[in-house]
Structure 1
Amino acid sequence: MEAKKNPQTEIGRNSSIYFAIGLNIMLFLSWQALEYRTYEKSDVEIDILNVEAEEEEEEIPILNINMPPPPPPPPAVIQQNIQIVEDVVDIEETVIESTETNQDDAIEERVVSVSDVYVEDYEEDVEVAFAVIESVPVFPGCEGKSRAETKECFQNKIQKHVMDNFEYPKTALEMGIQGRVSVVFVIDTKGHTINVRSRGPDRLLEEEAERIINLLPQMKPGMQRGRPVKVSYAVPIYFKFRPS
Structure 2
Amino acid sequence: MELKKNPKADVGKNSSLYFVIGLTAVLGLVYGAMEWKKYDNSNDYDISMNVEDQLDEEVPMTEQIKTPPPPPPPAAPEVIEVVEDEEEVEETVIESTETSQEEEVMEVEEVEVEEVDEDISVPFAVIEDVPVFPGCEGSSNKKACFQEMMQKHIRKNFRYPEIAQEMGVQGRVNVIFVIQKDGSIGNIRMRGPDKNLEKEALRIINKLPKMTPGKQRGRAVKVPFSIPITFKLQ
Deviations 1:1-25 (A, max 9, x none): xxxxxxxx96644754643664687
Q: 2-side partners of 1:155 and 1:24: how far apart?
A: 123
CA separation of 1:107 and 1:158: change in aligned 2, threshold 3 A: same
CA separation of 1:15 and 1:156: change in aligned 2, threshold 3 A: same
Deviation at 1:119? 1.5
Q: 1-side partners of 2:106 and 2:198: how far apart?
A: 60
Alignment partner of 2:208 out of 200, 216, 220: 216
Q: 1-side partners of 2:180 and 2:215: how far apart?
A: 11
**Which amino acid letter does the alignment assign opposite residue 113 of structure 2?**
V
CA separation of 1:209 and 1:26: change in aligned 2, threshold 3 A: farther
**Where does residue 85 of structure 2 map in the other structure?**
none
**Residues 1:130 and 2:134 are matched in the alignment:** no
Equivalent residues in 2 for 1:100-139, closer than 5 Å: 104=94, 106-107=96-97, 115-139=109-133
Deviations 1:50-84 (A, max 9, x none): xxxxxxxxxxxxxxxxxxxxxxxxxxxxxxxxxxx
Alignment partner of 1:19 out of 3, 7, 23: 23
Q: 2-side partners of 1:25 and 1:116: how far apart?
A: 134
**Which amino acid letter does the alignment assign opposite residue 125 of structure 1?**
D
Structure 2 gaps of 5+ residues are 1-12, 34-91, 100-104
Structure 1 gaps of 5+ residues are 1-8, 30-101
How many percent of aligned residue pairs carry the same amino acid? 51
Deviation at 1:121? 1.1
CA separation of 1:17 and 1:227: change in aligned 2, threshold 3 A: farther
Residues paired across the two proteins, number: 160
Q: So what's the TM-score if we normalise by structure 1?
A: 0.57
Deviation at 1:173? 1.0
CA separation of 1:223 and 1:11: change in aligned 2, threshold 3 A: same
Q: So what's the TM-score if we normalise by structure 2?
A: 0.59
Deviation at 1:117? 3.2
**Where does residue 138 of structure 2 map in the other structure?**
144
Alignment partner of 2:196 out of 197, 204, 218: 204
CA separation of 1:13 and 1:176: change in aligned 2, threshold 3 A: same
**Where does residue 74 of structure 2 map in the other structure?**
none
CA separation of 1:103 and 1:142: change in aligned 2, threshold 3 A: farther
CA separation of 1:179 and 1:26: change in aligned 2, threshold 3 A: farther
**Where does residue 227 of structure 1 map in the other structure?**
219
Equivalent residues in 2 for 1:172-187, closer than 5 Å: 172-187=164-179
Equivalent residues in 2 for 1:2-151, closer than 5 Å: 12-13=16-17, 15-16=19-20, 18-19=22-23, 22=26, 104=94, 106-107=96-97, 115-146=109-140, 149-151=141-143
Detail structure 1 runs of 4+ shifted over 6 Å in the superposition: 23-27
**Which amino acid letter does the alignment assign opposite residue 115 of structure 1?**
E
Q: 1-side partners of 2:172 and 2:211: how far apart?
A: 26
**Where does residue 6 of structure 1 map in the other structure?**
none
Q: 1-side partners of 2:111 and 2:22: how far apart?
A: 131
Deviation at 1:164? 0.3
Q: 1-side partners of 2:113 and 2:106: how far apart?
A: 14
CA separation of 1:203 and 1:124: change in aligned 2, threshold 3 A: same
Deviation at 1:200? 0.1
